[in-house]
Structure 1
Amino acid sequence: MYILIRPIIDRKGSNHDMKNVGGFERGFRIILGLGILSLLLFLSGPVRFIGLIGIFPLWTGATQFCFMNKMLGRNSCKLQL
């Protein structure tokens, strides 16, 4: 059990290496996510559920972590410790 819990405990204090979205990209993702989510209000019928796609850019902007950025080796967060 110690082996399973140790990585969580070790990373608890150092969250800076998990962030890879920052600056302009973070703001753009949040605004884009809110804009796409607003389609839920403005469209009618089953087509409006396309607006749920807005959850992904909103989530990545809010948490400052994007799995695709990590896979591609991109980092727009300029935090250096």
Structure 2
Amino acid sequence: MADLKSRFEAAVANSKNLSERPDNATLLKIYALYKQATAGDNAEKKPGFGDMVGRAKWDAWNGLKGTGSDDAMQQYIDLIESLS
């Protein structure tokens, strides 16, 4: 577990130094996996129609409901490594 957490933290650091900016769909996946890994299932209120970005982020995170923290961390690590 400690190894996974340290690899996750390294991937978070690496995500800030990618050579090129990922497309919006990939950015949403990165965001959702990070939130799922660090906060668990989405329990926040869904943003209104006026907040398009907030709504997209909420939908992406909510789509991972039920995914375990360790599994989300591993998926995040794999995604960041594939982008590096």
Same fold (TM over 0.5): no
Q: TM-score, normalised by structure 2?
A: 0.28
**Which structure has the bigger radius of gyration?**
1
Q: TM-score, normalised by structure 1?
A: 0.29
